[in-house]
Amino acid sequence: MHKSVQDIINMKKEKKKISVITSYDYSLASLCDKAGIDVLLVGDSAGMVMLGYENTLNVSMEQMCMFTEAVSRARKNSLLVSDLPFMSYQASIEDAINNSGRLIKAGADAVKLEGGSIMAETIRAIVDIGIPVMGHIGFQPQTTTLSQGYKVQGKTKDTAMKLIEDAKELEDAGVFSIALEMVSHEVAEIISQTVSVPIIGIGSGVGCDGQVLVIQDLLGMYEKIKPKFAKRYMNLSEDIIKSLEDYKNDVISGKFPAEEHWFSMEEEELKKLREQIGG
C-alpha cells in the first residue's frame, strides 16, 4: 500500500523530514520508489527536462496526464502528486476541478498548483470535491518568470509578510502541504513553524519540513539549467556520454556485438540451409 496524504501530514507532526523527488518517466520513477522516496512529484518541468521547452508555459494537460500515467505505473510505495500546468486552473474554478480530476484519473493521489491567496477559492473548491491539493508559493515558474525572472523571494520584510500570509491562507483553504520555492531560508523556517501543514522546500533552506529535487538534477543528467539549490549526487551526463562514445567505437571496430550478444542456428539446420541456397 502506497503512502497517503495523511501519512505525509503525520510526518510533520512526528517531526520526520519528507523526501520528494520530481520524476516524469517509468524507469527513473521505479528507482525512486524502490529507494523509499516519500513523494513522487510529476512536475510541469517535464516540459523543459523531457521535451526541451524553454519554460513550462507550453506544457499541456495531455502531456501531464501522459507523464502522470507513466509514473503511476512505476510507484508502489510513494505518494504521487501531479502539477496542474499553466492555464489549466487559472481561468475558472470549473477548469480547475475538471483538470484536477483528469490528473487523478491518470493516477495521481493529489494535484499541485501555483499561487497564494488569489488561488485560495480555487483550492477550496478542489478540496471540497475530495481531491487533495499541494500549494506552491515563493518563486512560481509558471508566472514569476514572466514579470520578475529567476529571483529569490522573501528578502524584505514586506515580501516576507506576504509569503507568510499566503501560506496561512492556503492552509485555511485546505491544502495538505505547500511547496516553497527559492525563498530566503529565514522566512521559509518561519513559515514552516507558523503553519501546521508540511512545507516542502525547493531552494528554501534546511528549516522546511521536507525537500524536493528533480531526479535529473540530482543525477547530473540535465545540463541546460544548473540551479544553485540543486545538489548533484552524481554526474551521469559525463558517464553516459563516455559510454555512448565507447559503444560507437565498438560498433566501428567490430568489437560489438561479440559472440555472447548474438544468437545461432543449430549446426545441422545451418548445413541444410546452405545446401538449399547453394552456399
The residues spanned by each domain of the chain are 5-234, 239-277
Distance between CA atoms of 73 and 157, rounded to whole angstroms? 45
Res 146: pLDDT: 66
pLDDT tens over the chain, length 279 residues: 899 999 999 999 999 999 999 999 999 999 999 999 999 999 999 999 999 999 999 999 999 999 999 999 999 999 999 999 999 999 999 999 999 999 999 999 999 999 999 999 999 999 999 999 999 999 999 987 666 667 899 999 999 999 999 999 999 999 999 999 999 999 999 999 999 999 999 999 999 999 999 999 999 998 776 777 889 999 999 999 999 999 999 999 999 999 999 999 999 999 999 999 986
State the binding site: 44-45, 83, 112, 114
State the binding site for Mg(2+): 44, 83, 114
Cell 502539477, residue located = 83
Which pTM was predicted? 0.94
What does each C-alpha distance from 64 to 69, 139, 180 come to in angstroms? Answer: 9, 21, 21
Res 147: pLDDT: 64
177's grid cell: 502541504
Q: Which residues are catalytic?
A: 181
**Into which CATH architecture does domain 5-234 fall?**
Alpha-Beta Barrel (3.20)
State the binding site for 3-methyl-2-oxobutanoate: 44-45, 83, 112
Distance between CA atoms of 104 and 149, rounded to whole angstroms? 31
DSSP string across the chain: ----HHHHHHHHHTT--EEEEE--SHHHHHHHHHTT-SEEEE-TTHHHHTT--SSSTT--HHHHHHHHHHHHHH-SSSEEEEEPPTTSSSS-HHHHHHHHHHHHHTT-SEEE---SGGGHHHHHHHHHTT--EEEEEES-TTTHHHHT-S--B--SHHHHHHHHHHHHHHHHHT-SEEEEESB-HHHHHHHHHH-SS-EEEESS-TTSSEEEEEHHHHTT---S---TT---S--HHHHHHHHHHHHHHHHHHT-SS-GGGS----HHHHHHHHHHHT-
Distance between CA atoms of 224 and 207, rounded to whole angstroms? 28
| Dihedral over Cα of 133, 136, 140, 143: its sign | positive
